[in-house]
A and B are shown apart, each in its own frame.
Chain A
């Protein structure tokens, strides 16, 4: 372990583990009984932001993304456990929102402006979008239930990114730049 990291690596348990494979240091993952009920609820709430558009009564999927972003920034400082789930939920929401936006854009171009052709490529894309959305909802619900139990559920790709971002020990050694100099 890098001694520089040793000085600055503090997590909720005050422990750091070393990953031999990647030669990196990671904060120790908290176990369910070490996490407060409030943290579990806050972590779960991140995934439930996928229902924000329904709650707001506005038929705009982008509301879910906006809600996820707001939720992330409100909760990211609460704990690493909450931060991890909020980030994972945000990343998944970001991708799904982009895919949905593309689907809406394509649909509008075909049916409203008649600029594009209604073809098999469009049908295939819409089917893909439906599958992605169904998978997104199922994965989010599973992740929400796991978060409520104080467990970490890694989503495909996003889980790894969020883990690296939150649990990887970063060197906090910060050298202040010298600004004031003696006269020459």
Chain B
């Protein structure tokens, strides 16, 4: 998986204030409304894909691409929620965002044994360890987000270290999601750093 959100040279203070005060109205409400239905469709495809993997050992490619595009869309919106980049997130599954890269390699085959293991015990061996760590990382992200907000307001730049921290958290949680959504057989690493495959 490849996930990156580019660090902008400078961030707009005006957009920061606009997002903070009215973001819920012009970004999160319209996107959230559409994403609810897209997510519902995604959950239907996920359920069907589960059975297809069980019988054929393959994730239907069209369904896989839909899930990746949906996650990319959510990432576009989340990046604005964390003030990682400026600009209005584009609507649509095929939309492109120059600040964001999210690529997932399509697995030609998936293990049926792992599928069952994940379904019945995924919460135990993935949810608990990763959830435990991500919980504390998310608490840290709350404070980092708060500090970075002030940093952008005064300096017009998102501090690089803080940017990395937030992106790492998003990358980590996306890896866990991909694994739990049966889109990869690779157990998610306990790091948010980019890993060369």
B-side contacts of A52, CB under 8 Å: 44, 48
Q: Are B62 and A48 in contact (CB under 8 A)?
A: no
- Min CB distance, B33 to chain A, in Å? 17
A55 to B41, CA, bound (A): 9
- Min CB distance, B45 to chain A, in Å? 8
Q: Report if A70 contacts B (CB, 8 A).
A: yes
Of the listed residues A37, A41, A49, A51, the one surrounded by the most CB atoms of chain B closer than 10 A to its CB is: A41
A168 to B61, CA, bound (A): 29
B contact patch SS: helix
Mask of B30-68 contacts with A, CB within 8 angstroms, 1/0: 000000000011011111100110001010111100000
Q: Are B52 and A41 in contact (CB under 8 A)?
A: yes
- Min CB distance, B70 to chain A, in Å? 14
A38 to B45, CA, bound (A): 15
Q: Report if A54 contacts B (CB, 8 A).
A: yes
Q: Are A51 and B60 in contact (CB under 8 A)?
A: no
Q: Given A56-B40, A56-B43, A70-B41, are A45 and B48 neighbors across the interface (CB < 8 Å)? A: yes
Contacting residues of chain A (22-58) with chain B, CB-CB under 8 angstroms: 37-38, 41-42, 44-45, 48-49, 51-52, 54-57
A50 nearest in chain B by CB position: B48
Other-chain contact of B52, A38, A48, A49 (Cβ < 8 Å): A48
Q: Given A56-B40, A70-B41, are A48 and B61 neighbors across the interface (CB < 8 Å)? A: no
Q: Are A41 and B61 in contact (CB under 8 A)?
A: yes
6 cross-chain pairs, A with B, having the tightest CB-CB distances, nearest first:
A55-B47, A41-B60, A55-B44, A48-B48, A52-B44, A38-B61
Q: Could you tell me which B residues sit within 8 Å of A by CB distance?
A: 40-41, 43-48, 51-52, 56, 58, 60-63
